[in-house]
Structures are given as structure tokens and as C-alpha cells.
Structure 1
């Protein structure tokens, strides 16, 4: 029986990357060191770092005026680092409320800035991202922050807002590299690695070069985007193994058709699962409106919530793990990141159909 991990993160890695990592990361080389032991100041690691950066730039067709940073920590670190680095002379920042993680980012930013709620989703079923018109954007806003894919709520923006000259900042943790992306629409994008990039403990930051001149004087040196960009993400010891693995994942994406191919596969996987939910005559329910449904994180519930644990037990017996919904909202959630093969979704939908026959 093949097992499939549907966790929202740390998430499944591509099988080919795991096989490559076994050969390359923990075996000692001629220098007596393995990748985990080599100094970040040495030539071997700098080659790895440059490769990862170049590979990511190629995948994203990155404009020349953007910089890629590989930073220690998770996306929640960026909830503070974004205002500290981007406020500049302004005291105002705009945040769109689209669900759980956008609100977490907003609360943290309010420690440093006067936060305007630029747009807000209604919170009623069917759930949807904030409407893309009539956003409140004070003219002196240093930036406008969005969470284009809400990992907890299963909500995805159907399109990007037009913020005019105000830089658009995105927490793209659960959607970066899942489909082509016009980076030039953004001032800054950040994404924790443990969804589609690699392992927990690293966040990728992609920032437009002109925004590197804004950091507040009190920003600690390792948290300064400008200084990290100047020193190639090596102000302090970077997450070396995470960078090695990220480079391997970037290679895997490129070898499998790039972001266009990832997008096609991810849409197909999500369509299979949503079709199974919608065809169940209400046995399963997806609370997010069509057109706003995430292809990365499929949130659904059983009409009889009392059957949720029985479903999870049945799924685990088939090797389908980590389908619990977020602790704040319950229900079920299947994360379909790049490394989840279509066969995993087919196995899940078969389990769902059998469960309906038993309990429907």
C-alpha cells in the first residue's frame, strides 16, 4: 500500500528529491565533511547557494531588479520583518483580511505601524476572498499586504488587487511555485519553505531592489533585508541544509516542466477532489465559493460532523494521513502541494466514496 501525507506543512517532498538527498546530503565527501557540516563561508556551499538562487530566478522569470533572500525562520518572522524593513518614513500600512493567516500578520504589524484594513471577506458561507474593488488604501501607506492563499480557510484570491503605486506584499507561503506568477506585480513576496520549497526552518524573500532602502534604524542586522541582500543571505549562518534541499526541489520543478506544468497538475488534482465533494449530495461540503477555492489546501466538512473522526481513521487505514482540519475550525483539509502526485488524490477520492457507501 502506498501512503500519502496530506499535511499542510511540513509537507510531502518529491520522491525524487528525497532519493537525491539521501545520496548527496549526509554522505562524507573527499574533504571529510558532508553537506550538513561544510562552512557557509566555503566555496562548496557558495556554489550551492548560487545555484539555488539562479534556479529560482529562472523558474519565476525574475526581473533583474529583484533580489532573492534565503532567511532562517518561518513566515511568522516576516510578519515583523516586513514592517520593520518597509515602513520607511511612513507609519501606515494596509492589510487585506482574507482569513486566519492574514489576521495573524495584521496583529503583528500593528506593533510597528498604524494598520488600515484595506479589504475584508464577509466570513459567511460560501467563503470568498475580499472583493477586488473599493479597497481602502491611504495614500501614505508604505505597502499593502495580502495572503493570496489562506492555508487554514482554503480561500484563494481569484486575481490580484490593483494597489496603484503602493507596493503589494504577499505571504505566498502555500502557493509560491504552484503556478506561474507575475513577480513584477509585487514589491515583496515571502514564503516559508515547508510547503513547496523544502523543509521547515527557512523562508524565501523576493524583494524589489528599491525597497531595500527603507529599513528602520532599529532593525537587527540579521533581519535587515538590505544587509542580507548585500551579503548574499550570509550575514549570519544561513539554513544550509534547507538551501541545499530547496535547490534540489527547484531542479525537480524545472525537470518536470516548470511552473506551467505545476499549475496544470495542481488544477487537475484540485478539480478531482472538489468534484468528489460536490457530487456527494451534501455528504461532504466545501464551504468556499467556486472561483475562490484553493488548489493548494482543500477544506471540506462532513454534513454529520460526528463522523469526522471515523473518516480520519478510515483514511489512515488506507495510508492517507494528516487530513485533520486546522484546530481553529475543525473539519478536514487535504493539502495538494506540488509533491502530492495525482495518484494520492485518486486514493483519497476512492476512500471518500467508500465512506459514503458505509455511512451515507
Structure 2
């Protein structure tokens, strides 16, 4: 069945990207966050999903139900009962990871309030989807033992409603960072690259919509085991695509460090730098000057990665103290930068040092 090779390909790619993300946050950036832990938990739920999906396949998934024994059908439904909450858990953890990533990248006052509301919505809908799957039938084991007297929720209503929740939260998490990313005063190519990375969430939305069409087809079919093959496949694809897209943005420091040629090369932005006296009295351009989230019209950040200018993103955040803004501003620039200057600067520095010593 085509589900197995597709699932293996997507799971392998997902594991690779999560491993690279964890390595980047622990070794390259050396500042892991809650979002990294959540994405690892999402991967673990995804792996468990894969295990029970294989169990479904071995028990006649996508085959004509008339050709299967009652025990085989029962085993398949038991595995399905486990995969549904795992699917919802994996997606919910991935979305929570994105929310906490946004909280770190954009620490402005009102945006934090918006993210807190978003966090509440994601948690609430996630708990509903998980518990509605766990307690879909009363008693619980009546889900796979259809011979028992039972009271169950409507498959058409619950599954389609949950799919709608998934699509709506996907769209929300794609749209949320766009206004702030668009307002960043950074080189155009870098801004386009950032927008593209965040807009990849629309691909997850597309996967959710395709899955919804398979769910609608499933609830209408008379042969559940045969119709569920396509729905299960797209559900697994959706989980993995969501994790993959959530891992791409945090991987930029890894690419900048190990594959700088893959990044758009820009030594300095076109914005002027502020000069301050260094320890020896000379001019110094390395360091942080100003608060990019403060009330000023334009602030500048200079680091080994080059000079960036960020438009005022205060959004009414003028009450924040300067020291907190400074730390947050540095964090945003470090997370959102997209250039290869740091690697090139180190290389040129080594070359100039070698030439000066006659090596």
C-alpha cells in the first residue's frame, strides 16, 4: 500500500529537521526554548501516530470491509481510536510551539496580548479535539466493538468540526506574524525570504483542506475501512508538514554557520551605523544601539551579522523599560537575520590575519 512508503519518507524528513533544529538551538544558538521542547513532543506524538497507522494497515486499512474478518476490523478500529487523539495532539503541540516561537521573536506588549489570546484558543480547541476523540463513544471500548450498546457522537459533525478548527488555527498562525515581519526595516531580499518562510504555513492549511475533503468522503461511504485509507494518509502528511514548516525558521542560524553560500550575501545594509567609542577610544560599530521595539521612529542594531534597521514595532509599547527592550531587540535580530556576513567576516578576518603574519 502506498501509505507506508509515503509515511516513511515524511517521517524521516521530519525527524531530520527536528534533530537539526534541536542541534541548532542547543549548540549553535545555545539558547533552547519552550518551543523547541514542544516540537520534540509533537514529533514523539507523530512517531506514535506512525506506529499505530502501520498497525491499521496490517489490519486491512484501505481494503474492502467485506473481505475482512470481524476481529481484523475490530483491531483496525482499535488502532484508529488511538491515532485520532495522537493526530490532534501532534498538531496542537506544533501550534503551541509556533505560538511560543512568536512570543520570543516579537516581544511587544500588545502582540504578547494577542499571542496570549491565541494560546488560549489553541489550547482550548486542542483539548476539545483530543477529549472528543478519547470519549467519542460511551463506553469507550464501544468505538471498536460495534456489537455493544453505545452512545456515540456524530462522526460527520465532530470530525468536520475538528478539521475546521485545525484549518482556522493554521490560518491564524500564518497571518499573525505577517504585519510585524512586513514592517521590519531590513534588506528587501531578506524580508521576502522571511515572509516566504512564515507563509509556508499556507501549505499546511492546504493539507488540512485536502484532509477535510477526505473526511467528508469518509463519513459518506458505506465501506469505512476502505474509505479511511486516504483520510489516514492525508492526516499523517498534515502532521509531518506542520512540524517541518515549524522547524524551518529556527534552522537559519544552522544554515548561516555551516552553509553560508546558500544564503543571500549582503555585507551591510544600506542604513548608516552609529559610531561609539570603544575600549581604546577608537570608533566601534559592534554592539547594540537603541531599542528596536521602543517608541523611536527607527533604531539600529549592529552585530557580527551586519547592520539591521527595524521600524518601530512598539504598537503602543512605549511603557516598556529600555533594558528589557534592548535584550528583546537583540533576540529578534539574532532570530530574524538572513545573511552570510558573519561567516564571510570571519573568513576574511582569518585571511587578513594569515597574510599579516606571513602564513
What TM-score bracket applies, with the shorter chain setting the length? Answer: under 0.3
Between structure 1 and structure 2, the one with the greater Rg is 2
Which protein has the bigger strand share?
1
Which protein has the bigger helix share?
2
Larger RCO (CA under 8 A, 6+ residues apart):
1
TM-score (structure 2 length as normaliser): 0.25
